[in-house]
Amino acid sequence: MKIIVCGGGSVGKSIVSYLVKGNNDVIVIDRNQARLDELAKEYDVLPVLGDASHPDVLERAGIKNADIILAVTDVDEVNMVICQVAHTLFGVSRKIARIDNEVFLDPVWGVLFNETAIPIDLMISPDIEIAENILRILKFPGCNDILPVLDEEAFILTLKISENCPLTDVPVMQLSRGEDSPDMAVVNILRGNKCFLPRWEDKLCVGDEINLLVRKDDVYNTIAAFGLEKPTNERLIIFGGNQIASYLGAQIERDDSVNSCKIIEDDIENARRLAKNLGHVIVVHGEMMSDVILSEADINHADASIAVTANDKDNLLASLLSSKRGVGIPMAVVNTPSYSSLMDDIGNSVLVDRASITISGILKEIRKTKMTDAYALSRGNAEIWEIHIDDDNGLSGRKISTIDLPEESKIIALKRGSELIFCNDGTVLQKDDEIIFYVGSSSIRRAEKIFA
């Protein structure tokens, strides 16, 4: 697949880091030569210098043969123009645009985006999606990530096995066998940099990152069963005053469970803008790593800190400083895959993977399978697909054991009517089932053929 990515900033880099893992020809257009050099040095991409809204630049990038164009620059209006040019002059079939301004996302103006007006097939808002992801983690303290599936009737819960976990050295088959144990299905385990489907006899080890599918009413009980429950997050500190922080602040102001929230921002104009737009959130202007500023923000009494700047190193440092100051849940947004591999070295910090969240928004468009929803999982090593069983995919009436699923893939559960069913090899699929399918990155191509 030939994919053109317009914009080599943090969002573009997130997308590129994932796309290059597949069998894709990736071209990146940006006006900043330094950005392009950095991307070309790190990934196998074709860099094109220029303004992606200009037809001659798009033509030079080979847009006539492109399958998808992703307009993900920092400016919404530029992204709209890119999609318009790609559609009108070059007939590109799939056009995806980053739109961050909530005014454009208001359903009132939804008629603006169609083939007769501004031809955008899919709008993504990575900053808002990252903020929503952070809010879910704050709502369920103790988890490292939580993803809604099946109309939020169930969740994929990511837990980090600690030394105090009572289930350490317990075989996977026994996790949900106890009398008081919540119902759950093990999705996969990430151990070091190895992602795998556990066998029944495999045991959990300290440092493992386990993904579980649980019913919505069992989330808190599951976190408690692993000994990871933490107090409610009542006092928050946010490092950075960007779009993510702005959205978080606005949502937190509506949350009665949060007693205080402070945003630390070193740019005076951004700090003034945030202070003007937010009513109850306190904006502290100053150097984020300054002891004076940290004391002014009263970090020693914070329950959680969230570092959301565009700089991975700053976010990691802020997270480590927060941990040293006794913050219960330090969180850091990271964009670089190599930083995600530091999970074992950052103590109790939670890393929010920008790349996985961003790419989850477009997985449905780049996979050759019709799906309801999809997520990148385990730092991009696997995916979760939500698929509707109908006459087209020919799986209705078949027992799971008769489907030639590739290695490192599994049908985890299904929703039938209002019932959630955890699957095994003997489960028979029926028309209109909504299934949750797990697939490792090496098996995606084979899985696409099965569900095509």
Any domain includes 57: yes
Residue ending a domain, choose from 225, 243, 272? 225
Residues 348 and 435 in one domain: no
3-state secondary structure 99-163: CCCHHHHCHHHHHHCCCCCCCCCEEECHHHHHHHHHHHHHHCECECEEEEECCCCEEEEEEECCC
Q: How far is CA 101 from the centre of its chain?
A: 19
SS3 category, 410: strand
Q: Whole-model pTM?
A: 0.90
Q: What is the CATH number of the domain that holds 141?
A: 3.30.70.1450
Residues 294 and 367 in one domain: no
Inter-residue contact 248 to 238 (CB < 8 Å)? yes
Residues 244 and 354 in one domain: yes
Q: What is the C-alpha to C-alpha distance for residues 107 and 214, in angstroms, rounded to an integer?
A: 32
Inter-residue contact 357 to 379 (CB < 8 Å)? no
Residues 326 and 379 in one domain: no
Any domain includes 140: yes
416 phi and psi, to 5 degrees? Answer: -120, 105
Residues 116 and 16 in one domain: yes
Residues 239 and 328 in one domain: yes
**What was the pLDDT predicted at 171?**
85
Any domain includes 115: yes
**What was the pLDDT predicted at 338?**
61
SS3 category, 434: strand
* Beta pairing class for 2-6 and 25-30: parallel
Residues 40 and 23 in one domain: yes
> Taking each helix axis from N to C terminus, what angle separates 10-19 and 33-42, rounded to the nearest 10 degrees?
30
- CA-atom Rg of the chain in angstroms: 22
Residue ending a domain, choose from 309, 336, 358? 358
From the CB of residue 400, how many other CB atoms can be counted at a distance below 10 Å?
A: 18
Question: Residue 53 is encoded by which pair of tokens?
Answer: 């809204």
From the CB of residue 390, how many other CB atoms can be counted at a distance below 10 Å?
A: 13
Inter-residue contact 264 to 286 (CB < 8 Å)? yes
Residues 333 and 397 in one domain: no
Domain count, the chain: 4
**What was the pLDDT predicted at 339?**
59
Beta bridge partners of 5: 28, 70
**What was the pLDDT predicted at 274?**
95
> Tens place of pLDDT for every residue, the chain, 452 residues?
899 999 999 899 989 988 888 778 999 999 999 999 999 999 999 999 999 999 999 999 999 999 999 999 999 999 999 999 999 999 999 999 999 887 888 777 778 887 778 899 999 999 999 999 999 999 999 999 999 999 999 999 999 998 889 988 888 877 765 555 678 899 999 998 889 999 888 999 998 999 999 999 999 999 999 999 999 999 999 999 999 999 999 999 999 889 999 999 999 999 999 999 999 999 999 999 999 999 999 999 999 999 999 888 999 999 999 999 999 999 999 976 565 555 555 667 899 998 899 999 899 888 888 899 999 999 888 999 999 998 888 899 999 999 999 999 999 999 999 999 999 999 999 999 999 999 998 899 899 988 88
Tell me the CA distances in angstroms from 316 to 283, 344, 378, one per residue in order: 21, 13, 19
Residues 405 and 311 in one domain: no
Query: Where do runs of H (alpha helix) occur along 297-386?
Result: 312-324, 337-340, 354-360, 363-366
Residues 149 and 118 in one domain: no
354-380 in b/e burial notation, b at 16+ Cβ within 10 A? bbbbbbbbbbbbbbebebebbbbbbbb
Inter-residue contact 337 to 16 (CB < 8 Å)? no
User: What domain range includes position 271?
Assistant: 235-358
Tell me 41's DSSP state.
H
Q: What is the C-alpha to C-alpha distance for residues 102 and 263, in angstroms, rounded to an integer?
A: 20
Residue ending a domain, choose from 333, 358, 383? 358
Q: What is the C-alpha to C-alpha distance for residues 69 and 298, in angstroms, rounded to an integer?
A: 45
Tell me the CA distances in angstroms from 449 to 313, 368, 377, 392, 400, one per residue in order: 40, 8, 21, 13, 16
Residue 345 parent element (H or E): none
Residues 94 and 55 in one domain: yes
Any domain includes 230: no
Question: Residue 167 is encoded by which pair of tokens?
Answer: 């289930």
Query: Where do runs of H (alpha helix) occur along 226-285?
Result: 243-252, 268-277
Q: What is the CATH number of the domain that holds 350?
A: 3.40.50.720
Nearest Cα to 238, choosing from 184, 128, 315? Answer: 315
Q: How far is CA 320 from the centre of its chain?
A: 22
Any domain includes 49: yes
Residues 306 and 345 in one domain: yes
